[in-house]
A = this chain, B = another copy of it.
């Protein structure tokens, strides 16, 4: 085929994969979204990305950008389109510690940026389980969240500048390093979270923050979710902005963890209704430097809040990590969520956000509605509770498309009634297209389609994703 030949001429045959060689790219972590692309191309730099897009434009072929393949919504699947992998755009172009920025290409793996920032005494505060595979281009395209959003915001809040190649091969240079830059429309934020439907993100200027020099991490047992929200308020009041993670694992999660990974162990003798993982992080000297008696101020602060809650009977039990190893073990229990969820089939997973004061109502309402739809259904949830972001998974008693749709609709109904969103941090991709059609403001959908048509008139950039037909 002429296009493949031209791509080979452009990139070298080694970087144009076809046939069986594309297997690694043909599916994502879910195993659900699998299809055969026409070819996978691996350009080496922005100029090659632009050349690929010009070629694809001339041949009228769809282009689907792909990064670390850790998506959960089918955002990178293509049947017959050209898959454009950004993996070779993997340079950390520059880290400027004085301005606290990193200039990185789209193929840089998240954990590499973590390491590079750490070497400069800084921290890149986007943190989630897939950090060893996920790439900057992917986290930007999905506006990924994670465990530290409570303190630092989602990916969008961490990005100062962007380089994007448009559908026709034009290169859009928005590589600002500034915290204030009001020079026209906010194009950067339009491409962040657009899941590759408006162009290919090739590089970005990312914010770094001072590296936390001490953590205080604890696993807590509570009787109920309302008590967890009291605790969050107490921690915020006592520690200002130092609360970095506030993760919720209900009893069902801990039971499933025990079943799937008995090696990991449980934090308490029995499984409480509510298990929380909380973490504070300190950068200020007065919080991180050990006192004469060896105690760490930030740990003391956490212990004081917990002691008061224990005394009032609002907290059942607490374990504060005494070492980095103990801290890592606490995080491992939380980060096994994806593994635990995917261990059991069939599963219907959702990714919803609620106003914090509506989280309890969400669980009450959905647990009341679910048995009506499927008396044998089991559930599993895990939540970035500090953000009101719940990953609520239903294991139905049978594989049944109509039941699946009914369950998702029921979750959406409850979420919408409570002022929440059916899509919090994983993106829309293919999996949430029906939800977009049902739930998103109709004018917003029309405006999205108008923008898409303006920037990609031939609908070749990741077609069929994000915007319902």
Residues of A within 8 A of B (CB): 96, 98-99, 101, 142-143, 145, 149, 154, 156-157, 166, 170-174, 176-187, 189-190, 192-194, 198, 210, 236-242, 282-287, 301, 353-357, 384, 387-389, 419-428, 432, 435-436, 439-441, 443-448, 450-451, 453-455, 466-467
Query: Which of B187, B282, B285, B424 is within 8 Å of A180, CB to CB?
Result: B424
Q: A189-B189, A237-B210, A354-B178 are in contact. Are A183 and B423 (CB under 8 A)?
A: yes
**Most-contacted residue by chain B among A185, A210, A241, A467 (CB, 10 A):** A185
Point out the residue from B166, B181, B286 that lies within 8 Å of A238, measured CB to CB.
B286
The complex places the Cα of A51 from the Cα of B305 at a distance, in Å, of 54
Residues on B with C-beta less than 8 A from A287 are 240
Asked if B448 and A451 sit within 8 Å, CB to CB, the answer is: no
Choose one: B286, B355, B454; the contact of A450 (CB below 8 Å).
B454
- Name the CB-closest residue of B to A155: B182
Q: Are B436 and A183 in contact (CB under 8 A)?
A: yes
Taken together as a complex, chains A and B put the C-alpha atoms of A60 and B267 apart, in Å, by: 68
Closest Cβ neighbor of A194 among chain B residues:
B185
CA distance A428 to B444 in the complex (A): 26
In the complex the two chains form, is B99's CB within 8 Å of A357's CB? yes
CA separation between A439 and B426, bound complex, in Å?
Answer: 36
Additional pairs, 18, CB under 8 Å, beyond known A179-B387, A187-B444, A187-B448: A96-B357, A143-B182, A145-B182, A156-B186, A171-B443, A172-B441, A173-B444, A178-B354, A178-B355, A182-B423, A183-B421, A184-B423, A184-B466, A184-B467, A186-B193, A210-B237, A237-B284, A240-B284
B98 touching A445 by the CB < 8 A rule?
Answer: no
Closest B residue to A358 using CB positions: B99
Chain B residues with CB under 8 Å of A446's CB are 170
Contact partners of A447 in chain B: CB under 8 A: 166, 172, 185, 187, 455
- Contact between A284 and B239, CB atoms less than 8 A apart: yes
What is the CA–CA distance of A453 and B145 in the complex, to the nearest angstrom? 33
CA distance A98 to B233 in the complex (A): 10
Which single member of B182, B238, B439 contacts A285 (CB below 8 Å)? B238
Q: Which residues of B contact A239 (CB under 8 A)?
A: 284
